Amino acid sequence: MNTLVMKMGQGRTNSLMTELADYQIAINNPYVSFAAKYQETTVLVYTSGKIVFQGKRALKVAQRFGYQGDEALASETKSSNQGKIAQEKLSLIGSDEVGNGSYFGGLAVVASLVRPSDQALLRDLGVADSKVLNDRKIQQLAPILEEKIPHKALLLSPAKYNEVVGPGKAHNAVSVKVALHNQAIYLLLQEVPKPDKIVIDAFTSQNNYKKYLKGERNQFANPLTFEEKAEGKYLAVAVSSIIARNLFLENLKKLGEDLGYQLPSGAGAKSDKVASQLLAAYGMEGLRHCAKLHFANTKKAQKLLNH
């Protein structure tokens, strides 16, 4: 689906709402002041003044209102390389998270059970660590894995994340991941036979994990194995990394659509710039809806806005 963006006041957009009044549709988004469906294209006018055209004929409709460009915005993809994962003869639960290092978007944690009988299918599909697969491949694989592989997926939205993570709150950036990994594995264990092994892609030391685990209500007796870069060693962790990545990407896209901005993943200078634009358009409430506020990007964005 093509996506094009204009600002109110560009071209003939000042008359857009009048011209498309007969095509207006209802939409449950507090950041959208007007929405219409016209010629297979959804037109969204945001309170920030941004206008988004989405659909097969987005370019044609946008050009009607003076759009001068000739291409839709393309999403970034990473180069795809097939990772090599050793054959595993055990029934194994693997857990991984995605979104921890990204300013925008939620935190997705997935636990998956892979049995020896699943491995031929996974290798035929080209399952590998999500970090070496481009987003298109992730989006192709995830629905198949979700259907074929027993798993539990949890998503902590930015809004909820900001409620529970930060100075003086219930969690820090590590303890919240402990809580999510523990809960995902606990829920999966309620539905599947006892695995031979449970592996977590190590994001902290085992002692630190155990320290934070003491505060969790749902616990289980199965021992855990912590390994760095486990998503490149175990198919179960690789499956979880793919499902989690897809969940994160879907959430990132949805949050961007809520606000009318293309939200980047990661926490670099591009995130600072977009965050400053969101601050200008919606204030801190806009950021609270889509970003992890305790990241340094928040202060950087405020500094950019003030200058």
What is the distance between the alpha carbons of residues 7 and 237, in angstroms, rounded to a whole number?
43
Is 118 marked within a binding site?
no
What is the distance between the alpha carbons of residues 210 and 40, in angstroms, rounded to a whole number?
53
Is 96 marked within a binding site?
yes
The binding site comprises: 96-97, 201
Annotated binding site for a divalent metal cation: 96-97, 201
